[in-house]
Structure 1
Amino acid sequence: MLRAIAPYLDRPSANLLVAAPDDDAAVWRGDPLVAATTDTMVEEIDFRLEWPGFDFRKLGRRLLAINLSDL
């Protein structure tokens, strides 16, 4: 993924279409438009492996939902 957005990072201000303050997402002009978002979850802060019923698939879905909500 980094290779896909690397050309846009060289000159972000010229191509930046949307950058909401205090948001974790941005959209760059291009063909096609490029959207990037980033959010993290930290073990022991956002989740714990020892929680009853812990499932990495559920964690992945939660992280995906968190990131997609920024778009």
Structure 2
Amino acid sequence: MARPATGQTPPISFRPPKQLLVEFDATIEEGRTRSDVLIELMHDRINRKRRGRASVPDRPAGSEENTA
């Protein structure tokens, strides 16, 4: 059975490591919510990907090939 329409985007959730959450919360400016900041970060990441400048390498750190 489908959910009733609420007029809102359905919430999502995840469980970050506790220390990561503590550090993330410390970066949030007063008057903003976690959701505000996470949505902003999601938009930033999507825009970087669209421009072809991903902030996260496709390969794990230290796996760069030597060209010298």
TM-score in same-fold range (> 0.5): no
Higher RCO (CA 8 Å, separation ≥ 6 residues): 1
Q: TM-score, normalised by structure 2?
A: 0.30
Structure 1 or 2: more strand by fraction: 1
